[in-house]
Amino acid sequence: MRTEAAAGSRIPLPRWTTNLRTKEAIAGYIFLSPWLLGIILFIVGPMMTSGFLSFTRYDIVNPPEFVGLKNFIEIFSKDRLFWPSLLLTFRYALIVVPLSLIGALAAAMLLNQALLGTTWFRTFFFLPHLTPIVAAAVLWGWIFNADVGPINHWIRTITGSDNAPGWFRDPDWAMTGLIIMAMWGAIGGNTMLIFLAGLQGVPQELYDAAVVDGAGIWAKFRNVTLPMLTPTIFFNMVLGIIGALRVFAAAYVATQGGPAYSTWFYALHIYTRAFQYFEMGYASALAWIFFFVLFVFTYVQFRQSRRWVYYAGEVD
Amino acid sequence: MAGEAIAPGRKQTGSGIHPAGLFQSASFQRAIGRGILYLIAVSSSAVFMFPFVWTVLSSLKRGGELFRFPPTWLPEVPQFQNYPKVFEIVSWATWTWNSTFVAIVSTFGAVLTAALVGYSFARFRYPARDVLFIITLSTMMLPVEVTLIPLYLMFAKIGWLDSYRPLIIPSFFGGSAFLIFLMRQFFMSIPIDLDEAARIDGANYLRIFWQILMPLSIPVTATAAVLTFMAQWNEFLQPFIFLNTKSKYTLAIGIRYFQAVAGFADDTEPKYHLLMAASVMMTAPIIIIFFLAQRYLVQGIVMSGIKG
């Protein structure tokens, strides 16, 4: 069973293929090919298509009709839900991500205190993260039930008044409800586990040195722990914000974007225009604007990161 | 490596040093400090677990008991028959099977092809490799919204809508950037001498992959498989857009459908207790898998995060 390198040796090949490096390159591309094909078929191709569609009016039934910048002009000038949905999506992400990062770090530090039963605490913190988002939305919908839900019962008991938030039924509170739900799933999740490993990877000498220099608990945290964790914080922040900006399932199941459009996230806006109104051109324009905004936002984060992210062993 | 490191156990050697104060009061303070930490740990565990507990308890109540005021903790008589009832009211068994099928097949495809692609990135030198790798990583930041509409149109054109093909077949093209990254990082940690020794013995590239690298990568492969399975099981947007027929639903969209009808059913009694039972049944397999694969899983998550 001695078949030669994946390039295949049965067919007489031109001389250059016998070169080892070339063979290696060919084999490398062969192993890469599923992904290369996947990128073309499922990422680059579709992106170009939706870029094209964004300049058309397309309702699926009739062929796409080129309309120039009309979709974009309409989005910026006439679409009453565009700015609100974009802003509230950002507001959501900029609340959920920092808070859950802080929560995850706090939880990781708690788990790093060598308490008895840490494995159990870790599991308890982690389980919400495993809950399917749809199931979480269903069960939180019940917990936040305005009339007979446990949360409102406690709020009424503690405050002694009958006024309790309507949560998912209340335009002023629906967003808060979704934020609480998201934090429940995010704090004890992957980020916490990564922080925990990061904390355990901080060399003890650094702490010892800090103590010799007279550092207290806060100074040790501020000057040793935090700088050592910045790469992780950055990584999770970038991916976390992108994930949070794309929020769809939680909102769709828990609130359907309501009440009164108070949780009408951007992804929901795209979905509605594309798959309920079948305005594929318009929705593609919305999607491209979103992509552009995300790109700029991520780029800025990378630029900023040079100022605060510290890579300990900058090798590789 | 990390699986052990995660466990507690390192003594905080520095914390005992207090410049002033009697020994007694210092140790007393430390005991208080520990006590507070335990209190925080226990109470936050309670906060995190409360929604689960409430859901499980609600799922065992009679329909009307859920609407009692003030709410009660325990069901009067545990109604275990609520669980089988879910299967009668909606096609729960079918949906469970659909979810299982889609998740298993796409996990298989994703992990296998991600391993091949990761192997390529880790072990071969060819033009544009590093550029392609950076492109791969940057696709993690791409919002699916940009590609979803054209994909929908494409699948509509080739008649794939309302089938599992859009959910499964794309997985066979490398899975995802995250999986490829995970596999590549792992392969890179295996000494290349092993490959070279096998090459001298006449093994070809595929054989090196399959008989040298893969057997050494069982933990990371298990991690990748578990993470992919979970993601597929939980996936909402794609099945929601690509599937129409109720009997083809996966659990994620099935449970949403159930939720939408639970409040407004024609018969008198609302079905929220059954909806809670359904949530429990959708979550349970994931939690069971987590417990079975905990070690691998934690290790994989940590590995992907730290190197990133």
Q: Do A150 and B54 touch (CB under 8 A)?
A: yes
Query: Which carries the bigger pLDDT value, residue A84 or residue A316?
Result: A84
Query: Which carries the bigger pLDDT value, residue B147 or residue B21?
Result: B147
Name the domain count of chain A.
2
Question: What digits encode the pLDDT tens for the residues B180-227?
Answer: 998 998 898 888 888 889 989 888 999 999 999 999 988 889 888 988
d(CA A264, CA A234): 28
Q: Do A280 and B8 touch (CB under 8 A)?
A: no
On the question of pLDDT at B2 being above 70, the answer is: no
pLDDT of residue B263: 60
What whole-number percentage of chain B has pLDDT above 90? 49
Tally the residues of chain A: 316
Q: Do A113 and B12 touch (CB under 8 A)?
A: yes
| Whether A5 and A136 share a structural domain | no
Segment A161-185 shows an average pLDDT of: 89
d(CA A304, CA A286): 27
- For residue A65, what are the β-bridge partners? A57
pLDDT of residue B99: 95
Nearest CA distance, A121 vs chain B (angstrom): 6
On the question of pLDDT at B20 being above 60, the answer is: no
On the question of pLDDT at A39 being above 90, the answer is: yes
Question: What digits encode the pLDDT tens for the residues A103-147?
Answer: 999 999 999 888 888 889 998 999 999 899 999 998 898 899 888
CA-based Rg of chain A, rounded to a whole angstrom? 26
Which structure tokens are listed for A33?
A: 């090919």
Contacts of A41 in chain B (CB under 8 A): 170, 173
- The shortest CB-CB distance from A194 to any of B145, B287, B302 is to B302
The DSSP H or E segment spanning B113 is helix B92-123
pLDDT of residue B266: 52
Question: B285, B234 in Cβ contact below 8 A?
Answer: no
Q: Do B6 and A193 touch (CB under 8 A)?
A: yes
Q: Report the SS3 class of residue A32.
A: helix
| Whether A5 and A128 share a structural domain | no
pLDDT of residue B113: 95
Q: Do A42 and B116 touch (CB under 8 A)?
A: no
Position B101, amino acid: F
Segment A271-278 shows an average pLDDT of: 92
- To probe the interface with B, which of A35, A118, A156, A241 has the most B CB atoms within 10 Å? A35
Q: Do B205 and A142 touch (CB under 8 A)?
A: no
Break chain B into its structural domains and give their ranges: 82-307
Contacts of B275 (CB under 8 A, 6+ apart): A138, A142, B255, B258, B259, B262
- To probe the interface with A, which of B102, B119, B146, B235 has the most A CB atoms within 10 Å? B146
Segment A261-270 shows an average pLDDT of: 92
In terms of residue numbers, what domain contains A23?
Answer: 1-48
Nearest CA distance, B217 vs chain A (angstrom): 17
| Whether A13 and A102 share a structural domain | no
Q: How many CA atoms lie within 13 A of A49 on its CB side?
A: 20
Segment B144-150 shows an average pLDDT of: 90
Would you place residue B141 in the very low, low, confident or very high pLDDT band (cuts 50, 70, 90)? confident
On the question of pLDDT at A176 being above 60, the answer is: yes
On the question of pLDDT at B5 being above 70, the answer is: no
Position B259, amino acid: Q
What is the count of residue pairs from A and B with beta carbons less than 8 Å apart? 300
Instruction: Go through A145-178 and write b for each residue having 16 or more CB atoms within 10 A of its CB, e for each that does not.
Output: beeebbbbbeeeeeeeeeebbbbbbbeebbbebb
On the question of pLDDT at B253 being above 90, the answer is: yes
Residue A71 located in a structural domain: no
Contacts of A284 in chain B (CB under 8 A): 149-150
- To probe the interface with A, which of B13, B145, B271, B307 has the most A CB atoms within 10 Å? B145
Q: Do B54 and A41 touch (CB under 8 A)?
A: no
pLDDT of residue B12: 45
Question: A44, B147 in Cβ contact below 8 A?
Answer: no
Q: Do A28 and B124 touch (CB under 8 A)?
A: yes
Question: Which segments of A131-248 does DSSP mark as H helices, in order?
Answer: 133-143, 150-159, 174-187, 190-201, 204-212, 217-220, 226-245
Nearest CA distance, B227 vs chain A (angstrom): 10
Question: B1, B299 in Cβ contact below 8 A?
Answer: yes
d(CA A226, CA A249): 33
| Whether A156 and A285 share a structural domain | yes
Q: Do A134 and B252 touch (CB under 8 A)?
A: yes
DSSP B235-299: --HHHHHH--SGGG--HHHHHHHHHHHHTT-SSSS--HHHHHHHHHHHHHHHHHHHHHHHHHHHH
Nearest CA distance, B141 vs chain A (angstrom): 7
Query: Which carries the bigger pLDDT value, residue B234 or residue A149?
Result: B234
Residue A86 located in a structural domain: yes
| Whether A24 and A152 share a structural domain | no
Question: B164, B102 in Cβ contact below 8 A?
Answer: yes
d(CA B212, CA B198): 8
- The shortest CB-CB distance from B45 to any of A121, A132, A184 is to A121
Torsional class of B282: left (φ above 0), alpha (ψ -120 to 50), beta (otherwise): alpha
Residue A53 located in a structural domain: no
Q: Do A119 and B287 touch (CB under 8 A)?
A: no
- The shortest CB-CB distance from B306 to any of A188, A232, A242 is to A232
Please report, for the domain that includes residue A274, its CATH number.
1.10.3720.10
Q: What is the DSSP letter of B141?
A: G
Distance of CA B143 to the CA centre of its chain: 19
Question: What digits encode the pLDDT tens for the residues A1-11?
Answer: 344 444 444 55
On the question of pLDDT at B103 being above 90, the answer is: yes
d(CA B281, CA B83): 8
CA-based Rg of chain B, rounded to a whole angstrom? 25
Query: Which carries the bigger pLDDT value, residue A73 or residue B261?
Result: A73
Helix axes B272-307, A133-143, angle to 10 degrees: 130
On the question of pLDDT at A45 being above 90, the answer is: yes
Residue A174 located in a structural domain: yes
DSSP B71-102: --SS-SS--TTHHHHHHHHS-HHHHHHHHHHH
- The shortest CB-CB distance from B116 to any of A34, A141, A280 is to A34
Q: Which residue of A has its CA nearest to B283?
A: A131
Q: How many CA atoms lie within 13 A of B246 on its CB side?
A: 8
Q: Which residue of A has its CA nearest to B143?
A: A291
Contacts of B67 (CB under 8 A, 6+ apart): A147, A148, B270
Q: Report the SS3 class of residue A57.
A: strand
Angle at B66 between CA B61 and CA B71, to 5 degrees: 110
pLDDT of residue A309: 84
* CATH topology assigned to domain B82-307: MetI-like fold (1.10.3720)
Instruction: State in Å, rounded, how far the first CA of chain B is from the last one.
Output: 17
Q: Do B286 and A113 touch (CB under 8 A)?
A: no
Per the prediction, chain B carries an average pLDDT of 85
Contacts of A141 in chain B (CB under 8 A): 259
Q: Do A190 and B121 touch (CB under 8 A)?
A: no
d(CA B102, CA B228): 11
| Whether A9 and A149 share a structural domain | no
